[in-house]
Amino acid sequence: MIVKKSLLVVLPLLLGANLLYNRNFDDQPKTDLTPTADQIKVSTVVAQLMSQYHYQKITLDDSLSSHLLDEYLKRLDYNRMYFLASDVQGFEKYRYQLDNDLKKGELAPAYEIYQVYKKRAAERNAHVAKLLEKEMDFSADEYYETDREKAPWAKTTAELDDLWRKSVKEQALRLKLAKDRKWDEIAKVVGERYKNMDKIIGQTTSEDVFEAYMNAFSENVDPHTTYLSPARTANFKIDMSRSLEGIGAQLREINDYTTIQEVMPGGPAFKSKQVKKGDRIVAVAQGDDGKMVDVVGWRVDEVVKLIRGAKGTVVRLQILSAEMDVTASPRELRLVRDKIKLEEQLAKGEIVPIMHNGKPFRLGVIQIPAFYANYEDRQKGDANYNSTTNDVKRIIGELQSQKMDALVLDLRNNGGGLLTEAVDLTGLFIPEGPVVQVRNSDGSIEVLKDNDPSQTYNGSLAVLINRFSASASEIFAGAIQDYKRGVVVGEQSYGKGTVQRQVDLNRIVQGTERLGQVNLTTAKFYRVTGNSTQLRGVTPDVQFPSIYSAAEFGESSQPNALPWDQIPTAAFKPMNSVSAKLVEVLEKNYEKRLLTDADLKKLQQQINEVNRMRDNKRVSLQESKRRKEREEEEKRSKLLASADDAVEETTEAAPDQEPKKKIFNLQKDDYLKETSRLIAELLSDSQNTVGRQATPKR
């Protein structure tokens, strides 16, 4: 990890801030919803951190205050279903004073706004209970708008009542269509959902309100700068150790849904290949026969308690895919809880035989789930310690001994990891030279280089990325592309080009141990060309169709993401293993296949269908219409999924051994299949020197 000079002085400089707090506050924990003495301290310190040490040196002014108010209201009432227009108008008195309040530790507005929200939520939950007393009429021809993020605030209680009637009716109709439930059962499921919400709101602590408000502030600055309350900080540290046992996923609460924030390589969720970032968990069941518990609206820590469990036990989840609208039917997933083992997170590779234009090739494919290193073994002097670079280097040697013709590095869903490993891995494929530039908050630029002139592999190379390849993955893919060392294919990557540092507030403000921490953005990544990886990510040389648009599933989907920009180019010498002319030929051949290849046409059809469903924000509340739509969608889904029933491939094994399951299956992986075609074309290009054995790096 890079040590940021600018933050080395944070602690001594801010220790002087303790002088601001030599007042006689009551530091006893409070159960009522009022700010505590510690929270007053934290708000002023975080304001200082943002203005002095955040990458952008944030100015606390009226503009920020206005955005903070909007963001806080959005956090509390994302779909504008609780507050009345008169409530919001009443909050306008705070629009241009919150910046000054933060500087002096004035938090009363945050708690006043929350108290109004709490009151409105209780009213809405009571209204839902009344709605469920009588069976709803599903024959009326009416519609419900599912996306109200930018809708006007309701002017009257009657207007809110009607919005909630339609919302509850939509949920009830979805439950009815899913299992042909009777009204009593439907009313019970929906009723319990809102009773639980009511209970959760009733249990809200001062710490919860403060954390929500501070994150409305911090994430209004940029999406990766966050505040963790003392309780959340403790849970974060526990989760980082306990997450090694369970399903292997980090969760976050977003708009009443427990959402997959990260899928950990090697865990049950990762190995299932059916869980991805952005998926929403709507229900959880224990074992193969346990009853599904609806968890919509639950606190994420309560959902985690249901999902966690002993190794070897079964947990079933109902999951709403990230790309689907909330009205879609969830799918059920069965997972066996397990402890994530280091070896299951490591890079893996094998030879994949392919045929192209009647000619056989032996393609080496290496899957890299993360950029990692076992520092403990390294410190013990073990030269063969596990790391992304060491493991890929070893696998390349094994694949070359099996007469590998070309190499594909699969970085799909690789969310990043150690920056040093991204630099070292790049060094296996290029001579010495710069790999990435890092600009710090003080404006200084660090250039991280590969200093070894040898190459482990200098044959034909392709790097496969997707929308969820981020951070260190983007640095590696960008360097390979900039050096023209290989061809980058797949989807546009995520676009996270910022660096965060964890700031322990307990070390800044003396005299207390319950202040939490801030994850502060302190630097940005830049490619050797000077282009930032922030926001835009890496655009592949050959771009495949994608279900996940950047506007919804990339850094650019974040309204407060830091901008893309440029710095001067680093001094580097392109290798020109892949020419612009060759890339143009590969693109043209791919575009032709898009029109003729059955698998690619089916993939595009799937994407179009998903986009059509996702773009539909207006749903019918009439049972006959919804049932017909549902039947048509199920028919199309079955048709589109029919080609996915291919039999798993296995490798050959001795008669007394079990066949070994292959890591990669081209029959089920359209993107890897197309990548293999492109690399075969790259191999066939007469101008390309391929299959050469390079001098291994020592």
Q: Which positions are annotated as active-site residues?
A: 471, 482, 496
Helix ranges (H only) for 222-360 are 230-242, 268-272, 300-307, 342-345
Q: Is 416 helix (H, G, I), strand (E, B) or coil?
A: coil
From CA 404, how far away is CA 421, in angstroms rounded?
24
Q: DSSP character for 373?
A: B
Beta bridge partners of 463: 409, 488
Residue 539 token pair:
């655009």
How many Cβ atoms sit within 10 Å of the Cβ of residue 397?
14
What phi, psi does 473 have (nearest 5°)? Answer: -60, -40
Residue 166 token pair:
């339609």
From CA 435, how far away is CA 480, in angstroms rounded?
9
Note whether 463 and 449 are within 8 A (CB): no
Q: Is 20 exposed, middle or buried (0-12, 13-18, 19+ CB in 10 A)?
A: middle
The residues near 645 (Cβ < 8 Å, ≥ 6 apart) are none
Residues in the chain: 698
Note whether 64 and 58 are within 8 A (CB): yes
Which of these, 576, 578, 533, 571, lies nearest to 449 by C-alpha position?
571
**Calculated CA dihedral for residues 8, 14, 18, 21, nearest 10 degrees:** -140
Q: What is the pairing mode between strands 461-465 and 406-410?
A: parallel
Q: DSSP character for 593?
A: H
How many Cβ atoms sit within 10 Å of the Cβ of residue 121?
22
CA angle 226, 230, 231 (to 5 degrees): 105
* Per-residue exposure over 288-315, b if at least 16 CB sit within 10 Å of its own CB, e if not: eeeebebbbbbbbeebbebbbbeeeeeb
Task: Tell how far CA 453 is from the center of its chain.
Answer: 36
Is the sign of the CA dihedral 297, 298, 300, 303 positive or negative? negative
